[in-house]
Copies of this chain bind each other. A is one copy, B any other.
Amino acid sequence: MGSKINRKEFLKKGTLAGLGASMIPSNIALGKKAPAFIQGKDDRKARIAVIGVGSQGGNIVQGLTFQDDVIIPAVCDINPERVAHVQKMVVDAGGAEPTGYSNGPKDYINLLERDDIDGVAIATPWELHTEMTLAALKHGKYCAPEVRGAFSLQECWDIVRTSEETGMPVMLLENHNYYRSELAVLNMVRQGIFGELIHGQCGYQHDIRYVKFRPGAEFGEKGERAARWRTNHSLHRNGDLYPTHGLGPIATIFDINHGNRFVSLTSTATKSRGLQAYVREHGGKDHPNADIQWGLGDIVTTVLKTARGETIVINHDVNLPRPYSNMGRVQGTKGLWMEDNNSIYLDGMTPKQWHSFDPYREQYEHPLWKNFLEAGVRGGHGGADYLKTRAFAQAVKRQVPTPIDVYDSVMMLAVTPLSEQSIARGSAPVDFPDFTDGKWVNKKPSFGLDGDF
């Protein structure tokens, strides 16, 4: 613990404290209507930089530009074209041009050294997240890394310990936590509509082969965009590489780390066929990539057990042709919700068959979505990209904890290495670490409590 850093020391440099908000250039967009529900009573601003502004980082910048109380002082990317692209995006939205950082892989440190930045979002390739997260925390910034899966449990612990030592929050930018149906289900669960929870299902079921190979059947050095770096993980690894979209909302619904926790999991992978078939179809049988043996099983099924005795099943299914689905299911002693047929059944309903979820979503609309609908839905992924960046920005602006905290964040990330371990050991059960060191027993839920953020 020799490197333990006092929170106050960090807060001295580079936070909102002591900065007059009126001194700060503003991104307030002329002509853009501010959502009625988002503004605080004062004119403070959240100053948020974005590191990594490719496709997903660009979404984050866009989400931030929608918010009148956010300033984007700086953006960083190894690719200067992407920096220029989002600089223009901010200017077009009426904000001051952010400083661009594009001078090699460590230029982000220069961004972090600035004391006019309160928080950073990180949307670089997965391998860089932990290094950048730790650096951001040590520079006294709120930190919002994009979603992925971790590589080791140790990096999860490093993130936890550094957040604890610096006092700086970490919020995984999981947009699915903010999906409308999922938030309505959360609302219903908290009102006891489903009774005592028993079982959940979720997953990332998304045909992303066109992301893994671009152009055509290329990836790696010949690939473009995410195909440059993401696809190699499918070559070398076998596990649930992307658990958070399914797990994010389910974890809040099942109070994970807030009165509950995961205790163990098993994970089982199928053979790998989808990627090779895609390469052969799009590159031909003589393509240099045609005979590659991929490490990642096409479908990975993970079964988690909770301290309260529930089970959660997560599917990872990204290499095969299929419609998008998160396989959502939330089941308790009084009924269940199912995403795939947009249905619900509650005890006593007649006939004893699936009923449409639509009227229930309306009846139990989450306050956050009530406000969002009133203000006007905006942003990518049905508005969820806006809500997630807004939640982070509000926490930064108000200097309060993020609604998804560091323990929630690493809990989601940790599924990946645990899944890999279980598969490598023939689906043996593996223990799920308690990253809270027992705090989960008394922690109250912090996510989606009201219509604020």
Q: Report how far A317 CA is from B205 CA in the complex, Å.
A: 23
Residue of B nearest to A269 (CB): B311
Verify if A298 is at the interface (C-beta below 8 Å from B): yes
Q: Report how far A172 CA is from B308 CA in the complex, Å.
A: 38
Q: Report how far A303 CA is from B427 CA in the complex, Å.
A: 9
On whether the beta carbons of A352 and B324 are closer than 8 Å, the reply is yes
On whether the beta carbons of A333 and B345 are closer than 8 Å, the reply is no
Verify if A354 is at the interface (C-beta below 8 Å from B): yes
Q: Report how far A334 CA is from B297 CA in the complex, Å.
A: 16
> Are A271 and B348 CB-contacts (below 8 A) given A301-B303, A305-B427?
no
- Minimum CB–CB distance from A401 to chain B (whole Å) comes to 31
Verify if A441 is at the interface (C-beta below 8 Å from B): no
- Minimum CB–CB distance from A352 to chain B (whole Å) comes to 6
Taken residue by residue from 321 to 357, chain A's Cβ proximity to chain B (1 for < 8 Å, 0 otherwise) reads as 1111000000111111010110001111000111000
- Minimum CB–CB distance from A109 to chain B (whole Å) comes to 42
On whether the beta carbons of A198 and B336 are closer than 8 Å, the reply is no
Verify if A257 is at the interface (C-beta below 8 Å from B): no
Verify if A266 is at the interface (C-beta below 8 Å from B): yes
Residue of B nearest to A195 (CB): B277
Q: Report how far A331 CA is from B320 CA in the complex, Å.
A: 9
B-side contacts of A271, CB under 8 Å:
198, 308-310
Verify if A128 is at the interface (C-beta below 8 Å from B): no
- Minimum CB–CB distance from A440 to chain B (whole Å) comes to 18
- Which of A297, A341, A345 has the most B CB atoms < 10 Å from its CB? A341
B-side contacts of A338, CB under 8 Å:
340
Verify if A196 is at the interface (C-beta below 8 Å from B): yes
- Minimum CB–CB distance from A194 to chain B (whole Å) comes to 10
Residue of B nearest to A300 (CB): B311
B-side contacts of A198, CB under 8 Å:
270-271, 273-274, 298-299, 320
B-side contacts of A428, CB under 8 Å:
428-429
On whether the beta carbons of B313 and A301 are closer than 8 Å, the reply is yes
Contact of A426 among B195, B264, B341, B352 (CB under 8 A): B264
Mark A residues whose CB is within 8 Å of B: 195-196, 198-199, 207, 264, 266, 268-271, 273-274, 277, 297-299, 301, 303, 305, 308-311, 313, 317, 320-324, 331-336, 338, 340-341, 345-348, 352-354, 426-429
21 A–B pairs (Cβ distance < 8 Å), ordered by A: A198-B271, A198-B320, A266-B266, A266-B268, A266-B303, A270-B309, A271-B308, A271-B310, A274-B333, A299-B311, A301-B311, A303-B303, A303-B427, A313-B313, A317-B331, A320-B333, A321-B333, A321-B347, A322-B335, A322-B345, A427-B429
20 extra interface residue pairs, beta carbon distance < 8 Å, beyond A301-B303, A303-B427? A195-B277, A198-B271, A266-B429, A270-B309, A271-B309, A273-B333, A298-B333, A301-B311, A301-B313, A317-B331, A320-B331, A321-B346, A321-B348, A322-B335, A322-B336, A322-B345, A324-B353, A338-B340, A341-B341, A428-B429
